[in-house]
Structure formats: structure tokens, C-alpha cells
Structure 1
Amino acid sequence: MTRVYLVRHGVHDLVGKVLAGRMDDVPLNEAGRQQASALAAFFADRHIGRLASSPMLRCQQTGEPIATTIGRSMETIEALNEIDCGDWTGQTFTDLDKDPRWHDWNAERSRAGMPNGETMLAVQTRVMTLIDTLAMDDSAPMVLVSHSDVVKAIVMALLTAPLDHHDRLTIDPASVTTLDLWPGGGKIVRLNEAVPQGVAA
């Protein structure tokens, strides 16, 4: 059995305001950097054997203090990347709320897609291919730093839950979702765990 910690990146200035998607210039803000430091302290004594991250800057900056603390290099894995938001990348949620396609997307993630972007099913397919590979590795626990929709896609696949129910899950910035994986399956140990703040790594 393999333990995997799914980490959502720390907070940045666009959270709740703009659909950042794959914008490559979205750094953590001060609160996000503090969250990253708290995550590093959280993982300090958990004997992590592997650390990997989405290529997005906000994930890389979340993972860097963890890498320093646990003494491991951080891999970049494309399968952990944020959903490709296509034409909606960089749009405010206020503007998106006026687009009927946005409401269609959020109501039927199993069917709808983003204009010139990715479907939720495509995200789930690529990331579960990675998860299935990791389930074959029974070595030390690993940390994967990614994004809310990616974490949701993994959780829903393990629960065999419909993608249309994505809004029944909350994955907060800097939260940790813990999985135990084995070949052909896995279970959710903890979901959306908040890491205590104010503890130095």
C-alpha cells in the first residue's frame, strides 16, 4: 500500500476573483507563503520519499519549502497540471457568471467542457493514469502538489462518484487530502485537512 498526500497550492491574490487556470505568472501571496511554510513543517517528520508538483508557479512555490525541509528534490509532473481553461483563462468570476456556458460547465462536468479548453473527464483520465502508476510503488509516502479540480477528480474517481457532483467537495488552498493506494484501488484517509499555521519548518 502506498500513502499519497494530495496538496492544493497555497493562496494567491486571484483566488476567488479570477479563473487563473494555466496563467504562468501567478505567485503565492504572503499568506500563501506562510501556508507553504506550515506545510513544510507538517511533512517534516513523515518520512516522505517523493515530492512532485504541477508545473504552475503557485504549486512550485508551495512545494519548494517542503523540498527543502524533507531534503528531497521536487519533480515536475505534467499530469498534475491545472485544468486547461481555454478561452476562460484570466477571466473574472463576475464576468463568467454572465456566460450561460459557465453555468452549463458547473452543472454538468461529466459532459460540458471549457471553450477551447479541457473537460473534467480529460483531467480525471490523465491524473488517474498517474495515480494508477503510483499505486504500484509501495515505497515511502509521497506528496503531490496540484490544484483543486485535479484533487477533486482523483477523489471522485476513488469514490466512483459522478463528476457532476464536484461541487459537493471543498478543496481549500494549502489543504492536504490523504490517500492510501494499492494496485486497482485506494481509499480516502482524510479529506481537505487544514494544516496548523504558525509552526516554523
Structure 2
Amino acid sequence: MEKLKVVPNSTVNKIRNNPDNYGLSYHDFGKSSNIVDYSEREIIEMFYGIYKDQKILLVDDGYFLDLKEVNEIVCELEDVTYFRKPTDNDLRLNSYNSIRNIRTFYVKDYFLITKNEISGVKRHQITQYLYKIGAINKGRGRYANLYSCSNHYKILQDFKEGLAPKDLYYPIKRYINGLFFNDDYKISNFRVKSNIRIELP
């Protein structure tokens, strides 16, 4: 089961005692209209905008999205850091952007894409959702306006849109596909949008 960022027991108890104060939508998307019917885990999920039974997610802009309508996922990669500082020759050959030389990815946004407009748009931002549940981290220093993801696997994975770093897909794999569909590759049309050309080793 996917591990969500911990919510203190005191907060869970406050939610259980006064659910309407926390904006939970269990009346619309939950399994019951009575808050006492929900486990601690289920309350934490709803606190994060997760309604697994209905495949509904509260996206960053504050509206609910039916994940069954999603047909593509886009990750906007802004920058990376390296294990080995590039030399002039590396810069010329782009060899410093080998997947094995990248230390950390810095992401601007993640979007779920739907074929039809929902709430007036086809691109639905979930960056804050992934950050809140602990799937990605906040960047620091000069990357403070971005989100970080370590390059643990050092592998490029093959998707319909081409090769992409496995670590960039991991938050989608576990916290969209795994969490909602119990299938890590349910939505596997994944694309990384970036000016950085990451190379095979």
C-alpha cells in the first residue's frame, strides 16, 4: 500500500469530530455519508483529496477530476544537477546528460491530461497534490520554486512518447496508478517536456 505523508492523530480526530470544517467531500464521493464509517487511513486520504472507490482526485486548482477520463500525463522537467561537473567536451557531446550522471531532477509541474475539457481545461495540475502526500520534495536554494526528485534508478524507461527517466514516472506509478487503480501502469502514456536531452549511458 502506498505510504502517504503522516497526518498527526490529533488532526485526524479533529477531522472526524468536525469533518465539514475540513472540506471533505465524502457525501459526494465517499462510501458512506457517516464519518464514523471511515478508517483513519480513509480519513487521511480524503484530507488529501483522494476518493479511491470513485477514482476521484482533488486537483491543485480546487476541483474534482475523474481519473478514468485521463489519457496522458505530462511532467515538466526544468533542471537537473550532476554527480560529475561537465567538461567542455562533455558540453559539446551532451554526455554530461547521461542518465547515470544526473543526481537530482527539478520539476516545474505534473499535469493529468484529459481528451475532453473538464472545468474548462484539458490540463489538470497535480504538482501540489504530489508534494502534499510526500511523492516529491520541495527544491531548495536556487531551486526553491521547483520540486525535486532524486535519480535513484538511473534508468530511462520506454513509454509511448519515448524514453523518460523512471524516477519521474514513479510518483505517477505509485500515487495515481497504484493508489487509485491498483495497477502501476494503468495510465502509462507518460511524457516529459523539457529542453534537457537526457541520454542513455
Scaled by the length of structure 1, what TM-score is found? Answer: 0.26
- Structure number with the higher strand fraction is 2
Work out which of the two has the higher radius of gyration on C-alpha atoms and give 1 or 2: 2
Scaled by the length of structure 2, what TM-score is found? Answer: 0.26
- Structure number with the higher helix fraction is 1
The higher relative CO (CA closer than 8 Å, separation ≥ 6) is in 1
